[in-house]
Amino acid sequence: MAKAVQTQMNEFRKLDNDRIVLDGLVWDKNPDKAIEVKDVDNGFKVHSIRLDGQYYYPVGYDKRKNK
């Protein structure tokens, strides 16, 4: 079952060469690590994003506290 999550918009961080954080989700280049995430605004499942020619897949939620 997909987990609906409200996120902080317009947040982007690069964690390492394979992982980024975008709007409260951690994204990875490895599709085998992907989790199921549902967009709260329209109900669609989030599958992947493309950044600089690379596909990233949702693998977790950013646990970092806002400062």
Asked if the structure places residue 43 within a domain, the reply is: yes
Asked if the structure places residue 55 within a domain, the reply is: yes
Q: What is the mean pLDDT of residues 25-40?
A: 93
**Structure pTM?**
0.76
Instruction: Count how many domains the chain has.
Output: 1
Please write the tens of the pLDDT for every residue from 39-49: 878 888 989 99
**Residue 32: which domain range?**
3-61
- pLDDT at res. 36: 93
Asked if the structure places residue 54 within a domain, the reply is: yes
What's the CA dihedral at 38, 44, 49, 55 to 10 degrees?
A: 90
Asked if the structure places residue 67 within a domain, the reply is: no
Asked if the structure places residue 36 within a domain, the reply is: yes
Asked if the structure places residue 40 within a domain, the reply is: yes
Asked if the structure places residue 66 within a domain, the reply is: no
